[in-house]
Amino acid sequence: MLMCTVTHRILGTATSAGAIHDLKLFRQSGMRFPHDTTLIGDAGYQGLWRSHGHAITTHKATRASPLSAEQRQENRVLAHTRQGIEHVIRRMKVFRVLKGIYRGFARVLWKVS
């Protein structure tokens, strides 16, 4: 999903028929951006900076190289920025539940004669 971090408006979406990796779906979608646009992604977009120079993703730690204090702070700032985006995604998923067919158990509480 492509979204503006300031206005929280959805600018575009991409879907697939089955399970597909986030970065692969992004590349297949064909979305193009000006080179001065900053793209913010989660851990699923780790290779995005190769095709777009202004891409920001979280830092990952390994046993051999743990995160520095500066990298941890950058991850916190990025998480705070992405928090609003995650809230919009949550609202969309709630709406999707209302749109679908309820297939669970429903108990009849009263009968109309």
Instruction: Give CA–CA dist 98/91, Å, rounded.
Output: 11
pLDDT reported for residue 27: 81
Residue 70 has pLDDT above 60, yes or no: yes
pTM assigned to the model? 0.61
pLDDT at 6 over 70: yes
Query: Looking at residue 69, what is its pLDDT?
Result: 96
* Residue located via tokens 């979280």: 58
Instruction: Identify any residues that bridge with 12 across adjacent strands, giving them in sequence order.
Output: 2
* pLDDT tens-place string over residues 76-87: 998 888 888 888
CB 71 within 8 A of CB 52: no
Beta strands in the chain (DSSP E): 2-3, 10-12, 39-40, 55-56
Instruction: Report whether pLDDT(48) > 80.
Output: no
Least confident of 33-37, 53-57, 105-109: 105-109
pLDDT score of 104: 63
Contact 48, 55 (CB under 8 A): yes
- Given a cut of 70, is residue 61 above it in pLDDT? yes
